[in-house]
Structures are given as C-alpha cells and as structure tokens.
C-alpha cells in the first residue's frame, strides 16, 4: 500500500489539507498527517486540525509521496522549516512523488525542485521564480512533481494523486463515490 505524508503547518489551507487526506484515504492509501510541532494546527480559516503525529516522528518513516497544502501563513511556515526543505530534496532525489497545491509550490521552488519544470500554483505564488515554466492548468504533472492551483482544484488534485498511486480504476471508483456531476 502506498504511504503519503501530509505536513500540516499552522495557517495551512484547510480545504486543501482535509480534501487530500480524505480522498487518498477513500482510495485505501495510507496517509500520515504530521504537524510541524506537537500542537493542534489552526488552519487559515480557524479550523483546528489534529495531526496524526509530529513531523519529527514522521521523519523516522519512509513515504512514497509528500503533499504540501498551501494557504497562508502555512506556506511560509513550511518554507521556513529546514526539515521540510531537506525532506523534499531527499524524496525528489529518491524518485518519490513531491506534490504541492496553492501557494505551496513556492516551497518546491525555494528548494530548487521546480527549476526548468512545468508547474502551477495560486496566481502570483511562483512569480519570483523565473526558472519555473508556469502553466494555467488546474493540475500539472512534470515527472514526479505534481502541482495544483488552489482550494477550488483540491478534488482534482487529490484524484490525480490517487490515479498516480493506485491506478485509473481506483480513481474512477473514488470519484464515482463523490457524486461530482
């Protein structure tokens, strides 16, 4: 079974965090949410999230994918955490999936992972990174780097991650259960 890490920083975007965790778990993918510290996470709109563990504990495990929710100041908090940056670089070097939504692709860019790569983000979040080939799509895949635009694209983003980890049939099964149309 694939294993996914979702780091939760204070001020993260709750729609993105909860949607990704929920949809991946619907697909029977193991998801570990990890707070940057041992405190409950107060998301950007005041929703309080209780991570499964701390990032420190999560770092003792191996993951197939990391998913960074965006939001502010959550993205800035992820970007300021050297453990997150080092983990992103290590997972990318190991050929693992490195993914981010909303403003969080800027953390990937800060880590040097989007140089010359196609990516998308919340409008303006990648403007200071000239080496990124910005795309207007809801979800952009460039190898094992997957990015998405924001809260409104969270379901599409999460379903793309399901497809990458568990296949098209599992994506279709999960999507049918969401009754999107």
Three-state DSSP class for 7?
strand
Closest to 63 measured CA to CA, from 123, 3, 127, 132: 3
pLDDT in tens, 43-99: 999 999 999 999 999 999 999 999 999 999 999 999 999 999 999 999 999 999 999
pLDDT in tens, 2-58: 999 999 999 999 999 999 999 999 999 999 999 999 999 999 999 999 999 999 999
End-to-end Cα spacing for the chain: 29
Catalytic site residue 102? yes
Distance CA 93, CA 113 (A): 10
- Is there a contact between 155 and 23 (Cβ–Cβ < 8 Å)? yes
What pLDDT is attached to residue 181? Answer: 73
Task: Please compute Rg for the chain using Cα positions.
Answer: 15
What pLDDT is attached to residue 166? Answer: 98
pTM of this structure: 0.97
**Cα 140 from chain centroid?**
13
Distance CA 147, CA 152 (A): 13
pLDDT in tens, 88-136: 999 999 999 999 999 999 999 999 999 999 999 999 999 999 999 999 9
Distance CA 23, CA 39 (A): 24
Distance CA 25, CA 27 (A): 5
- Is there a contact between 11 and 47 (Cβ–Cβ < 8 Å)? no
What pLDDT is attached to residue 155? Answer: 98
Tokens of 157: 């983003």
Of residues 17, 31, 102, 174, which has the active-site annotation? 102
Domains of the chain: 3-172 (3.40.50.880)
**Residue with structure tokens 């999107």?**
180
What pLDDT is attached to residue 130? Answer: 92
């Amino acid at each position: 079974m694939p294993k996914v890490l979702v780091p939760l920083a204070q001020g993260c975007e709750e729609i993105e965090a909860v949607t990704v965790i929920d949809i991946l778990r619907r697909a029977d993918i193991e998801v570990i949410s990890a707070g940057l510290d041992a405190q409950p996470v107060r998301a950007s709109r005041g929703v309080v999230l209780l991570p499964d563990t701390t990032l420190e504990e999560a770092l003792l495990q191996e993951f197939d994918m990391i998913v960074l929710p965006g939001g502010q100041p959550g993205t800035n908090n992820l970007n300021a955490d050297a453990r997150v940056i080092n983990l992103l670089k290590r997972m990318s070097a190991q050929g693992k999936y490195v993914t981010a939504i909303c403003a969080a692709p800027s953390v990937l860019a800060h880590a040097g992972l989007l140089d010359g790569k196609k990516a998308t983000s919340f409008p303006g979040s990648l403007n200071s990174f000239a080496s990124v080939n910005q795309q207007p799509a809801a979800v952009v895949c460039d190898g094992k780097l997957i990015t998405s635009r924001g809260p409104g694209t969270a379901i599409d983003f999460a379903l793309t991650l399901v497809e990458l980890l568990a296949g098209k049939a599992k994506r279709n099964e999960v999507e049918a259960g969401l009754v999107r149309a």
